[in-house]
Amino acid sequence: MTDEQIAQLVIESESVSATAAVEVRCAGAWTVQGIARLERRLEVLSWPGEGDLAIDGSAISALDTAGAWLLHRTMRALEQRGRNVRMNGLRPEFSALLQLVASRPVTPESTAPARAGLLTNIGQQTWRGLIGMSGMLSFIGESTLILLRSLVQPRRIRWRPILHNMQTAGFEALPIVGLLSFLMGFVIAYQGADQLQRFGANIFIVDLVGLSMLRELSPLLTAIIVAGRSGSAFAAQIGTMKVTEEIDALRTIGVGPTEMLVLPKMLALIIALPLLTVWADVAGVLGGMLMARSQLDVSFDVFIDRLGDAVSLSSFLTGIGKAPVFAAIIALVGCYQGFQVSGSADSVGRQTTVSVVQSIFLVILADALFSVVFNWLKI
């Protein structure tokens, strides 16, 4: 930047006597882009003499509010030290601006509030957790009530959004669920092949792949994919609607947001997730079959022949039976977190993250509980 484009301040007469006025000359562009260097200089500048100051502003070529503020601040600081400051030669439009700036009371906000102590933090976190849990419980209760009411009066069920959600959360997830499940079956067979071959128990690859996929892995895998794909979408959609006051609008029209937004999503997932799980079963077994043929010389028809004996109907059904529960968890957590959004775009992001983490956590927890219960019941 040339000298013309930056703000300058020159102390002309460094008079030693305390009585004579100190002359100060301001020049250049006192603008937001030009005052940066001058500001740093002013911080450390020591003003000579004790007496009055005369500032000559005739050489200021440009002045904006930031520059005017710096000038005003400097003058005010000098006045507070008991020195008289006079301003000369400023262009009329610049002095009008200086006056405008001087007329506004400016109190920059104080710094952030003091940080809370450890105990306070623990207390607040715990309290927040409890509030969140009770909120979640009452949300589950409310949704269940509305679900029951809809089941009693099936005419109230909104089929169109249910079908739409089945399309987006179910049908459109087919490729990714299929691919991942296929790879999962493939990998399990590959890992098992080595061990089984050592004992000459090649045919048991069918039991390994069939049982682990159908009973455990494909319901879990499908639920986790859907939680990441659709649970987050539910939270983000409802959260954004909350920010734009669409939820409030629904209430004023007399449509319950739970009935309109939560129920269709929950019903759609409860229908779609078991179907997706069957699809994942098929893809996983297919992956295992391919690997079994190439590594263990178990041909397709032998594999399928054995599959009927290895996997009982109850094993298949326990796998499918878990899916609706997972679906309810994903939909409820996603929607609940969406309703927890407050005001800002940041909050939408935060609640979406929380919804995915929570629903995956709860899905795995529920899966563990199922294992324990099935063990008791000897299914």
Partner 1 sequence: MNAVIDIRDLYTRFGNNVVHDNVSLTVQPGEIFALVGGSGSGKSTLLRAIIMLLRPVSGSIRVFDREVIGLSDEQALPLRRRWGVMFERGALFSSLTVTENVSMVLREHTKLSARLIDEVAALKIALTGLPADAGSKYPSELSGGMRKRAALARAIALDPELLFLDEPTAGLDPLSASGIDELVRSLRDALGLTIMMVTHDLDLLWRSADRVAVLGEGHILGVGTMTELSNSDHPIIREYFYGPRGRAAREQAWKRK
Instruction: Please report, as ranges, the residues that interact with partner 1 according to CB under 8 A.
Output: 31-33, 35-36, 39-40, 43, 64-66, 69-70, 73, 93, 96-97, 100-101, 104-109, 243, 342-347
Q: How far apart are CA 221 and CA 187, in angstroms?
A: 14
Nearer to partner 1, 84 or 99 (CB): 99
Nearer to partner 1, 70 or 208 (CB): 70
Phi-psi region of 278 (alpha: psi -120 to 50; beta: other; left: phi over 0): alpha
| Residue 337, token pair as written in the block | 């977190």
Q: Measured from the CB of residue 238, what is the shortest distance to partner 1 in angstroms?
A: 17
Nearer to partner 1, 20 or 100 (CB): 100
Q: Which three-class secondary structure state does DSSP give residue 32? A: coil
Q: How many CB atoms lie within 10 A of CB 304?
A: 12
Q: Measured from the CB of residue 40, what is the shortest distance to partner 1 in angstroms?
A: 7
Which residues fall within 8 angstroms of residue 91, CB to CB, at 6 or more apart?
A: 57, 58, 60
Nearer to partner 1, 50 or 346 (CB): 346
Return the bridge partners of 11, or none. Answer: 24
Nearer to partner 1, 244 or 294 (CB): 244
Nearer to partner 1, 1 or 151 (CB): 1
Phi-psi region of 52 (alpha: psi -120 to 50; beta: other; left: phi over 0): beta
Residue (of 89, 97, 15, 21) closest to 52 by Cα position: 21
Q: Measured from the CB of residue 64, what is the shortest distance to partner 1 in angstroms?
A: 4
Q: Measured from the CB of residue 101, what is the shortest distance to partner 1 in angstroms?
A: 6
Q: Measured from the CB of residue 256, what is the shortest distance to partner 1 in angstroms?
A: 24
Return the bridge partners of 30, or none. Answer: 63
Q: Measured from the CB of residue 260, what is the shortest distance to partner 1 in angstroms?
A: 23
